């Protein structure tokens, strides 16, 4: 039996200033895993490349997300529902023109809260809103952090990716100080993990130390898996493409951790959440 979800969506930004760390893969597959638990999920594609929409083979809405954000910022008339399409049990908002929208938004005095304002009338329709951010700390990532309650930071288990963690942490601190004092980092998510590699094990140890230093949780890692690439090519989440694969199981574990934490399940937290800086 599916438990009753609380009113009002938990808005989670999937963000990192480094590209190629599995932000889109995490948004798609975490969202699908939450939807499989009976949650109402909205995914928003804030990257100009629109990889999230491509990974789910969604039709392109017109007007799209870019039109909605510009209408909201300049005229306060944007209706985000006009950009909604459905895919694999989830709602998706995206569309062409995001790069143009970012340039135009930067000329508006209220640009930093355009996404938050566009989302506000629709939060009661969903349990989770996942924001797939571009690999930068520019306009639309700032919009995402201003609108979010929480941030999940995917980090590829390679040295160069882990070494750039300070960039997204600085962006979060900036938004928290100016726009969104309640913004919290839900945790670091190691991705593309190969447990056979001494290098990956070393990076995991480094991330554990970083998590302890920043005082945040580190989730169990998502394994490197060709099935994830195959699922994207097929336009399906991993749980629907290869439900018994280690990657599907890993995203289901992440969804369970996110879902229980959102609902304030004290028993789960006390028995399953490890000490700060360890992998839970």
pLDDT digits (tens, 9 = 90+) for 232-279: 999 999 999 999 999 999 999 999 999 976 665 433 333 333 333 344
φ/ψ of residue 16, rounded to 5: -165, 135
Assess contact for 235 and 57: CB atoms under 8 A.
yes
pLDDT for the residue numbered 200: 94
> Rounded to whole angstroms, how far apart are CA atoms 169 and 210?
11
Give the model's confidence band at 110: pLDDT under 50 very low, under 70 low, under 90 confident, else very high: confident
Mean per-residue pLDDT, 216-223: 96
Domains of the chain, first to last = 10-272 (3.40.50.300)
The model's pLDDT over 166-208, given as tens digits with 9 standing for 90+, comes to 999 999 999 999 999 999 999 999 999 999 999 999 999 999 9
CA 278: distance to chain centroid?
21
pLDDT for the residue numbered 6: 46
Max CA separation in the chain (angstroms): 54
φ/ψ of residue 152, rounded to 5: -110, 130
pLDDT for the residue numbered 132: 97
How far, in Å, are 86, 114, 155 from residue 162 at the CA level? 34, 31, 6
Q: 87: part of which helix (H) or strand (E)?
A: strand 84-87
The model's pLDDT over 51-104, given as tens digits with 9 standing for 90+, comes to 999 999 998 877 899 999 999 999 999 899 999 999 999 999 998 899 888 889
Give the model's confidence band at 160: pLDDT under 50 very low, under 70 low, under 90 confident, else very high: confident
How far, in Å, are 15, 52, 194 from residue 45 at the CA level? 12, 6, 28
pLDDT for the residue numbered 88: 96
pLDDT for the residue numbered 164: 86
Mean per-residue pLDDT, 201-228: 94
> Rounded to whole angstroms, how far apart are CA atoms 55 and 57?
6
Q: Measuring CA to CA, which residue among 153, 157, 190, 159 is closest to residue 173?
A: 153
What's the pTM value of the predicted model, to 2 decimals?
Answer: 0.90
> Rounded to whole angstroms, how far apart are CA atoms 161 and 135?
12
Assess contact for 24 and 133: CB atoms under 8 A.
no
> Rounded to whole angstroms, how far apart are CA atoms 73 and 232?
33
The model's pLDDT over 132-153, given as tens digits with 9 standing for 90+, comes to 999 988 899 999 999 999 999 9
pLDDT for the residue numbered 5: 41
> Rounded to whole angstroms, how far apart are CA atoms 87 and 53?
9
Q: 42: part of which helix (H) or strand (E)?
A: strand 41-45
Mean per-residue pLDDT, 229-234: 96
């Amino acid at each position: 039996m599916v438990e009753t979800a609380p009113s009002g969506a938990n808005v989670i930004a999937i963000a990192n200033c480094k590209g190629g760390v599995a932000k889109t893969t995490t948004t798609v597959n975490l969202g699908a895993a939450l939807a499989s638990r009976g949650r109402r999920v909205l995914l928003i594609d804030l990257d100009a490349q629109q990889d999230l929409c491509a990974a789910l083979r969604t039709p392109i809405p017109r007007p799209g997300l870019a039109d909605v954000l510009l209408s909201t910022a300049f005229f306060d008339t944007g209706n985000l529902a006009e950009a909604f399409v459905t895919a694999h049990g989830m709602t998706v908002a995206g569309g062409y023109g995001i790069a143009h929208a970012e340039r135009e938004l930067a000329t508006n005095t209220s640009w930093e809260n355009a996404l938050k304002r566009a989302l506000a009338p629709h939060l009661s329709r969903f349990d989770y809103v996942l924001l797939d951010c571009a690999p930068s700390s520019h306009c639309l990532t700032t919009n995402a952090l201003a609108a979010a309650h929480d941030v999940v930071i995917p980090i590829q288990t390679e040295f160069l990716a882990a070494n750039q963690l300070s960039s997204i942490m600085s962006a979060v601190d900036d938004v928290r100080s100016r726009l969104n004092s309640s913004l919290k980092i839900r945790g670091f998510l190691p991705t593309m993990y190969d447990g056979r590699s001494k290098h990956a094990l070393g990076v995991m140890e480094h991330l554990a130390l970083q998590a302890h230093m920043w005082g945040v949780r580190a989730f169990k890692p998502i394994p490197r898996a060709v099935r994830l690439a195959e699922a994207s090519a097929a336009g399906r989440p991993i749980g629907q493409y290869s439900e018994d694969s280690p990657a599907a199981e890993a995203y289901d574990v992440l969804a369970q951790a996110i879902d229980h934490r959102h609902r304030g399940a004290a028993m789960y937290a006390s028995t399953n959440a490890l000490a700060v800086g360890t992998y839970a």
